[in-house]
Amino acid sequence: MKSRVVYSKKLALVIVFSALGVAVAPFFWFMFLGSKAYPTQHMINAILGVLVGPFWAAIAAIFIGTIRIMMGIGTPYAFPGGIPGGIIVGAVYWFLRHFGLNKKTRLTSALAEPIGTLLIGVPLSLFLFAPWMMTPEFLDLIAKEGALFAFLILGGGWALSCVPGSIIGFIILLVLHRVGINRETLFGEK
């Protein structure tokens, strides 16, 4: 019975945060090389990765990305740019918890979000989406300058989005922790 309650709570949090992500999407984004950078997605990844874990954070990123694309305020970059960050945050949280670190220290896993976005999402984007979505001039420049150049250009723009987003998510988690809302109190985990 407890697992059904935990499942329902996690699902409810994913739905609420997905709705929040879609609701603020039209207001908090900027264009960068054909990609719509969205710091709030990274904030949500940081929060959900800590509160509900990697699987659920990835599900929320898929929901938000899909709805943003359907609304015309997102691009296919939303998937490789959003999903890995939440997975990494959840995995780092799990790792820190299993090594016995205190609850407040575990919240720093929210700051790992850029690792997923930049080290996994950027290469996926460059190989899966960039060949079809970037201008021929930019693709020629990438061909001339090389993969590292492309990684630095796209990664630099995404860093402008994921670093502030993860920091904001971390601050929100600290505030929630201070008022007694964390993964342990929500789901009875140790």
- Give the domain CATH number at 96: 1.10.1760.20
**Count of domains for the chain:** 1
Q: What is the pLDDT of residue 113?
A: 97
Are the beta carbons of 114 and 163 closer than 8 angstroms?
yes
> In angstroms, rounded to a whole number, what is the distance separating the alpha carbons of residues 118 and 115?
5
pTM as predicted: 0.90
Residue 40 belongs to domain spanning:
2-187
| H helix runs in the chain, sequence order | 2-24, 39-51, 54-71, 78-98, 103-106, 113-116, 122-128, 130-133, 136-145, 147-178, 183-187
Q: What is the pLDDT of residue 33?
A: 67
Are the beta carbons of 114 and 167 closer than 8 angstroms?
no
Q: Can you give the pLDDT of all 190 residues of the chain as single tens digits? A: 568 999 999 999 999 999 999 999 888 877 776 667 789 999 999 999 999 999 999 999 999 999 999 998 888 888 998 999 999 999 999 999 988 888 888 999 999 999 999 999 999 888 887 777 776 777 787 788 887 887 888 888 889 899 999 999 999 999 999 999 999 899 987 6
